[in-house]
Structure 1
């Protein structure tokens, strides 16, 4: 992916920037590598700073907005001569908690992610354009999403919510929710399932929220589960069986919900322990919003189970262009 743009803040004849990513595809914990190519204008200037930043759309109580959540300086404090070409290589670290934007090569509806180049000259700052970035799941994340698809869950929506999850250590000021509709065998007890991944260098924290239907004399409520898997253990478990046990317990197939401590039925203790499901509200400390979309069918199998249920969003370039280049810091 390449973008080239005359920097607005510096007027006609100012420097231009051409940012080239070697590969726009990445995963949490990896890097985005490339070069920032700066071309001098019709006069000498002093480049005070060149900064790269990851930008995404986050929901909050005040509505949707673009947020830059990770910044890395590339260079600063050098003279750029008239017409001079300066190439600045970079290796941009992608935070472990960076949300997933693509699964099986398809962009999740509701997700946008871009790498922004910011250039500062003589106290004027231009934030330039955005290069679309595709963040693919870690192996553990992918195995769990596969398991939901194998069980017949259909993708509903993905979004980013401002705030934190109670009891979970987070570095970023938001978290991702990947929402699924249940298959027919669970539809009588569950309205939907929300999956949140919080990754770090040693593993992935997985938070599950089940929106449970009410019964004849009982009100509907939410059930929550939390567990952790190390990166090394991603390929060691039968994830379809493990996820099925979580869903079955949440749906009340194992003598109802547990409100105390303990493990999931059928769980594997070697994965650091699985927290029990509990009922209640306000687990994430915010007011939830519904963003249900229609479903579409594509290929069969696991990929079809997830990708086939996705409604692909707008092309990221169009989203960023429509925004007019103004982003919330």
Structure 2
């Protein structure tokens, strides 16, 4: 009886652990792993097992920091009652395709899987796994083009879907343009990336717009040269 009471409070209760095959995600590609359930000291009834793929970021507004928390995707493993015996081990395969057109992991933007095990008449068990998300396709060529030119993320923000989903990245040069500029800023909407990428930039106190076609960003090499020529003209 005492064990049952303690388990209802979360002591000696069942545990859940999401084990991923890799912690680096590429947009549009599958992520695999397994979910391990371990029974506690007493028999318990599980009412559901779900995994939420989440984003946490922030952006400045009016001199204050505004936090952004979004659930990108929900994965249901089971939602019927399942009995797990004391010390019993159960494994469930996990597979998930990372969505495209997300902001990338950066200074302020983080992604994680939140695994929630609902326990009947007890405290739910949970597990959190932080992952890095990288862009692919045109978005990947565009952002990696800056890295190819020697730019590194200095500051970054994501406004969230309620504010049109802009990712704002400020780069610092480490090779090309080093000594000529302190930072280069861009602002674009990942969700709007299709056959082109457009947005605004800030360079040497000047602001303007950019628009790059799929042809200009067809490869990483093309993207880097396109960016080099474009910003060279704006100096």
Please give the range of the TM-score, normalised by the shorter of the 2 chains. Answer: 0.7 to 0.9
- After superposition, residues 78-157 of structure 1 pair within 5 angstroms as 78-83=81-86, 84-101=88-105, 108-122=106-120, 126=124, 128-157=126-155
Q: CA offsets, 1:290-313, max 9 Å, x none?
A: xxxxxxxxxxxxxxxxxxxxxxxx
Instruction: Name 1:12's counterpart in structure 2.
Output: 11
Tell me how far apart the structure 1 counterparts of residues 72 and 149 of structure 2 sit (CA, whole Å): 34
Instruction: Name 1:326's counterpart in structure 2.
Output: none
Unaligned runs of 5+ in 1: 1-7, 102-107, 167-173, 214-219, 252-329
How far apart are 1:191 and its partner, in Å? Answer: 5.3
How far apart are 1:11 and its partner, in Å? Answer: 1.7
How far apart are 1:147 and its partner, in Å? Answer: 3.1
How far apart are 1:73 and its partner, in Å? Answer: 1.0
Tell me how far apart the structure 2 counterparts of residues 65 and 236 of structure 1 sit (CA, whole Å): 30
How far apart are 1:205 and its partner, in Å? Answer: 4.7
- After superposition, residues 1-329 of structure 1 pair within 5 angstroms as 10-60=9-59, 61=61, 63-64=66-67, 66-83=69-86, 84-101=88-105, 108-122=106-120, 126=124, 128-163=126-161, 174-181=165-172, 183-184=177-178, 187=181, 192-196=184-188, 198=190, 203=194, 205-213=196-204, 221-229=206-214, 234-235=218-219, 238-251=222-235
Tell me the SS of whatever aligns to 1:147.
Answer: helix
Q: CA offsets, 1:22-66, max 9 Å, x none?
A: 222220112221111112223333322111112232215563354
The answer to whether the 8 Å contact 1:198/1:205 transfers is: no
Unaligned runs of 5+ in 2: 1-6
Tell me how far apart the structure 1 counterparts of residues 27 and 110 of structure 2 sit (CA, whole Å): 15
CA RMSD of aligned residues (A): 3.4
Q: CA offsets, 1:70-97, max 9 Å, x none?
A: 2211112132232232211121221112
Which structure shows the bigger proportion of residues in strand conformation? 2
